[in-house]
């Protein structure tokens, strides 16, 4: 077999790349080790930046997103017994976020690729990368796929990044001393917008997936397990961390999913080697506080699509050669914003009274200064492409 671009991973990055390449007349094959059902059910991020929404709509895969997504024009920072709204419509006019689950994006992209006759293969075993320096090809399940370029979109634990020889890539990492317990519940949201709540008990986030399904997160110890958090304890702690302002009551309901997510930052430099180009979680991880993971993957794919279009249409590799440098500017901005949001809102065991007073001072500044609030807003909705 032969194709122009071999893509490893059928998450948002790999599927969107395949679709955007298809629109440019560039052939690709997507290889995914998981089943289609697993990929479509895997719950991940749900906050889409303005640029991500625009990309999906322009690519012709945004009809359901526009119909079912929940546009938000602000978020609330809740601390010290009061709520403070960061108003996007005032601070960054014309830009907002949309709440729409990552698994829904994946469903839309799979449907579009299959409708267009795209080659997306699920439950593919033993994928391996070869010839990355000059003549790349992939082997899997006893078959061989020759290609001009390989795109590694297979996540942090995938096979793409480890295929690069030792000593070529540099890794920058930061682990945070806590994790997030994520909960999906069959209950109408208690707020029309996301609530980021900072308390002495720890951080909590109230989000949503639809008018009838809510998403919650609790700051927990890094070694926490879901078995330690029965439903009753989760609701008690969410109430303690969210019902901190007068008149707010948390609506509870049946919990249908829970999981613990470690908090870490990770960046690979460069994001390419030979004819291999890494995108999304294969190249970088951000703590979820700033809602940047999926959006960074889309940004990578946009850059890579333009570079591959130039390469296949003109033979010029100049944009491909500059792929990593172009992506990393945005990656490090998102890393900083995610770190900033995390340190602004979480409780650190190592903090003394001095550290806690600094955190409160910073929160007061962000919620009272239009300049500081604008910085938060423009990063949250996504910087222009």
- What amino acid positions are annotated as catalytic residues? 72, 196, 288, 292, 380
Closest CA to 333 of 287, 278, 266, 383: 383
Q: Residue 12 contacts by C-beta under 8 Å, 6 or more apart in sequence? A: 102, 105, 106, 109, 280, 294, 297, 298
- Residue 201 and residue 220: Cα distance in Å, rounded? 10
Interior/surface letters 72-106, b for 16+ CB within 10 angstroms, e for the rest = bbbbbbbbeeebbbbebeebbeebbbbbbbbbbbb
- Residue 238 and residue 100: Cα distance in Å, rounded? 22
- 3-state per-residue secondary structure call for 164-207: CCCCCCEEEEEEEEEEEEEEEEECCCCCCCCEEEEECCEEEEEE
Residue 68's SS3 state is: helix
């Amino acid at each position: 077999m032969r194709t122009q671009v071999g893509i490893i991973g059928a998450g948002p990055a790999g599927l969107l790349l395949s679709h955007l390449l298809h629109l440019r007349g560039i052939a690709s094959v997507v290889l995914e080790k998981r089943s289609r059902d697993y990929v479509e059910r895997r719950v991940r991020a749900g906050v889409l930046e303005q640029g991500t929404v625009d990309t999906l709509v322009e690519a012709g895969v945004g009809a359901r997103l526009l119909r079912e997504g929940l546009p938000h024009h602000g978020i609330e920072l809740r601390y010290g017994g009061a709520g403070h709204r960061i108003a996007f419509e005032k601070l960054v006019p014309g830009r907002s976020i949309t709440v729409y689950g990552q698994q829904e994006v994946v469903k839309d992209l799979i449907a579009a690729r299959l409708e267009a006759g795209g080659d997306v293969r699920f439950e593919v075993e033993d994928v391996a990368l070869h010839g990355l320096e000059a003549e790349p090809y992939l082997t899997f399940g006893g078959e061989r796929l020759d290609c001009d370029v390989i795109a590694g979109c297979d996540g942090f634990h995938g096979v793409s990044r480890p295929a690069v020889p030792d000593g070529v890539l540099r890794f920058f990492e930061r682990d945070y001393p806590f994790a997030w317990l994520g909960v999906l519940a069959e209950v109408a949201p208690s707020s029309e917008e996301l609530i980021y709540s900072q308390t002495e008990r720890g951080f909590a986030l109230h989000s949503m997936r639809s008018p009838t399904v809510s998403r919650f997160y609790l700051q927990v110890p890094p070694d926490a397990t879901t078995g330690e958090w029965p439903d009753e304890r989760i609701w008690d702690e969410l109430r303690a961390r969210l019902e901190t302002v007068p008149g707010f009551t948390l609506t509870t309901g049946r919990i249908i999913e829970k999981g613990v997510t470690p908090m870490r930052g990770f960046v690979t430099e460069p994001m390419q080697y030979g004819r291999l180009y890494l995108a999304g979680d294969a190249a970088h991880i951000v703590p979820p506080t700033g809602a940047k993971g999926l959006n960074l993957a889309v940004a990578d794919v946009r850059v890579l699509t333009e570079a591959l279009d130039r390469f296949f249409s003109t033979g010029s590799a100049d944009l491909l050669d500059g792929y990593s440098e172009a992506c990393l500017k945005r990656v490090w901005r998102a890393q900083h914003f995610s770190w900033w949001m995390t340190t602004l809102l979480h409780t650190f065991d190592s903090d003394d009274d001095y550290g806690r007073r600094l955190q409160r001072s910073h929160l007061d500044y962000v919620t009272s200064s239009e300049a500081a609030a604008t910085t938060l807003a423009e990063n949250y909705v996504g910087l222009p492409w």
